[in-house]
Amino acid sequence: MNAKRYDKLATGLLYTIAGIVVLILLLLLGFIIIRGLPQLSWSFLTTPSRAFTAGGGIGIQLFNSIYLLILTMLISMPIALGASIYLNEYAKPGKVTSIIRTMIEILSSLPSVVVGLFGFLLFVVQFGLSFSILSGALALTVFNLPLLTRSIEDALKSISNDQRNGGLALGISKWETVTKIILPAAVPSIVSGLILSAGRVFGEAAALIYTAGQSAPALNFANWNPFDIDSPLNPMRPAETLAVHIWKINSEGIMPDSSAVSAGAAAVLIIVVLIFNLLARWIGRLLFKRLTAGS
Amino acid sequence: MDKIRESILTKSHASKLERRGKIISFMCLGGICLIVLAIFIFIAYRGLATFTSDHVSIFKFLGGTKWNPEVTENGHPLVGALPMITGSFLITILATLLALPFAIGTALMMTDITPKMGTRILQPVLELLVGIPSVVYGFVGLTVVVPFMRSIFGGSGFGILAGTFVLFVMVLPTITSMTVDALKSVPKDYRSASLALGATRWQTIYKVVLRTATPGILTAIVFGMARAFGEALAVQMVVGNAALMPTSLVAPASTLTSVLTTGIGNTVLGTVQNDALWSLALILLLMSLAFNLAIHLIAKRGELKR
């Protein structure tokens, strides 16, 4: 009889634990949404921030985050694609391949602050790019590459070998089989991996503090010439992102309404990450439909 | 005759394309490996300068309890990294220990008790927890956890305990999802056999499933520790940033990452103060390597057992 009682007790305990975990998430989300949503307004999302007085917005930071995200994806996508094609299609199992895989694993487990410091040494100091969007995008690329490579490799791996044999049987080369048959078939899962990594990049701050910098100079949104210093598109200007902004105003504590501004900014971050998550899920379902209905 | 000979001996367009594609994709992969090597070379070069050009003894660095790089004592700067090393390890271990029962419990719910609810509720919950950016965790820690600590323990509220609670939530999804993988890899026959012998569900879980999955769960723990050890901003925002030996869990302390995030911007490249910070980064890098090594070793031992 004792064993049965233990079983019931343990089951109850497990239910409680799972309940607490769900509760933690609900409290977290609830706190951020309740505190943050009232802050959100068109003017909050578009006006520049103010360092010493209340009432500033997050316009420039939001733009910087999006611009940095796009640049990072543009740089890291082709590299990750090439690397994963080689790993999945060309690499023969052996010592060299396993060393390369270990290196990618190590890179993916490096703390993001170390990646940021490396970016500072190489891009900011060595290459002389100073604190700029370009340095930030390159550091984020380093941070993003291992995970993106792995997710694309998984996507390629999930394509059945029949497709590869079919391509080779038609007499086209391996490269053309990969680019014309395998890649198109893997697009939905590649895109869903891409979106998930975009969510990570969007919220990353530690790798950016010493690469993209912590200041957001005023921008002239009428000037779209990327070579002008006040142009939003200029990749050589320092650019504080949304996540860095939250960190900075909280650790400096000179902005009088820093708590309200960071609540609003945190809500924006969470909502964007939520949208990315839902998008990735939706695309995953699309893939499922394509695979099962075969339309 | 010549035309046929030519078409046989010269490379076709397709084979040229093949070669080019292979080379380009290999260069991408090589580039990633080059980056990894560069990270180690750059950080090691900077980090070792403390010991080579500033002549700080490595034992004094690792064992010294006073961190005050601006002050020199007996001709050597005061760069004892022990307070930060202790802080990092304390927070990492406490957060992992706190997260472990929750992670295993949640994972068991997802694999053994209610797999349906697991995939419909718990899986999305974990994905959301992973997706929340670390600065948001830091902000919530600063506005909720720190005042809470202050009201209970007095003082400022900043400290290792506050950092532990923030990191607990951050490593929870990592450990849980990897534990789920470990539990899922336990063959179903084991469970059926145990149940057929008359064991209750809990007995099956406790005596069969968890024990078979131990190597996998250990890997999950190490992964969680690696994440906790390297987390910078969320910890920096709640830990208090006082480079002192931690005497109490609720007094301001510091970690390797917190000193790095606040310090690098305030020192000049090439000075002793700066070199000492790079040495901390080197420790961080080596610890990350050590965690990786541990994961490999656990995986190897797990394989041997099978």
Transcribe A152-214 into DSSP letters.
Answer: HHHHHHTS-HHHHHHHHHTT--HHHHIIIIIHHHHHHHHHHHHHHHHHHHHH--TTTTTTT-S
What share of residues in chain B are helix, strand, coil (percent, to 5)? 80, 5, 20
- Which residues on A lie below 8 Å from B140 (Cβ)? 28, 31-32, 266
* Other CB atoms within 10 A of residue A115 CB: 25
Interatomic CA distance for residues A236 and B68, integer angstroms: 35
Span B214-271, pLDDT tens digits? 999 999 999 999 999 999 999 999 998 888 888 888 889 999 999 998 888 888 888 8
Q: What is the pLDDT of residue A56?
A: 78
C-beta of residue A49 within 8 angstroms of C-beta of residue A265? no
The series of mean pLDDT values per 10 residues for chain A, 295 residues long, is 86 94 93 89 83 80 92 95 93 90 92 93 91 93 94 92 90 89 87 89 92 83 77 86 90 81 91 88 78 57
Option in A21, A29, A205 nearest B233 (CB):
A205
Report the pLDDT averaged over residues B156-166.
92
Q: What is the pLDDT of residue A295?
A: 46
- Which residues on B lie below 8 Å from A182 (Cβ)? none
Question: Smallest CA–CA separation between B214 and chain A, in Å?
Answer: 19
Span B47-95, pLDDT tens digits? 998 888 878 888 888 888 888 877 777 777 788 889 999 999 999 999 9
C-beta of residue B88 within 8 angstroms of C-beta of residue B82? no
* Domain boundaries defined on chain A: 40-293
Is there a domain that residue B58 lies in?
no
Is there a domain that residue B19 lies in?
no
Q: Which of B19, B39, B41, B21 is nearest to B29 (CA)?
A: B21
- Which residues on B lie below 8 Å from A247 (Cβ)? 135, 138, 233, 237
Cα nearest neighbour of A24 on chain B: B169
Question: Smallest CA–CA separation between B104 and chain A, in Å?
Answer: 9
DSSP one-letter code for B253: B
**Partner-chain contact A121 B122, CB within 8 Å:** no
Angstrom CA distances, B259 to A193, B81, B220, stand at 34, 10, 27
Is there a domain that residue B39 lies in?
no
Single pTM value for the model: 0.90
The answer to whether residue B206 neighbours chain A at the CB level (below 8 Å) is yes
Q: What is the pLDDT of residue A1?
A: 60
Q: Which of B97, B231, B171 is nearest to A21 (CA)?
A: B171
Which tokens go with B248? 């109490």
* Confidence check: pLDDT of B302 > 80: no
How many beta-carbon pairs under 8 angstroms link A with B? 248
Is there a domain that residue B69 lies in?
no
Q: Which domain, by its residues, includes B208?
A: 82-305
**Partner-chain contact A17 B29, CB within 8 Å:** no
Question: Smallest CA–CA separation between B74 and chain A, in Å?
Answer: 31
Q: Which of B227, B238, B222, B136 is nearest to A199 (CA)?
A: B136
C-beta of residue B76 within 8 angstroms of C-beta of residue B55? yes
- Structural domains of chain B, count: 1
Is there a domain that residue B38 lies in?
no
Which ipTM was obtained for this model? 0.90
CATH of residue B128: 1.10.3720.10
Backbone angles phi, psi at B77, to 5 degrees: -65, 150
C-beta of residue A264 within 8 angstroms of C-beta of residue A166? no
**Partner-chain contact A31 B232, CB within 8 Å:** no
Q: What is the dihedral of CA B47, B285, B171, A36, to 10 degrees?
A: 50
Interatomic CA distance for residues B53 and B276, integer angstroms: 11
Burial grade of B42 (CB within 10 A; 0-12, 13-18, 19 or more):
buried
Span B188-214, pLDDT tens digits? 999 999 999 999 999 999 999 999 999
Which tokens go with B233? 């901003």
For A44-56, b/e burial (b = at least 16 CB within 10 A) is: bbeeebeeeeeeb
Question: Smallest CA–CA separation between B69 and chain A, in Å?
Answer: 19
Span B1-19, pLDDT tens digits? 678 888 788 888 888 888 9
**Partner-chain contact B203 A14, CB within 8 Å:** no
Q: Which of B183, B235, B241 is nearest to B212 (CA)?
A: B183
Q: Which of B43, B139, B227 to mutate to test the interface with A (most CBs of A within 10 A)?
A: B139
Which tokens go with B277? 């910070």
Domain A40-293: CATH superfamily, name plus number: MetI-like (1.10.3720.10)
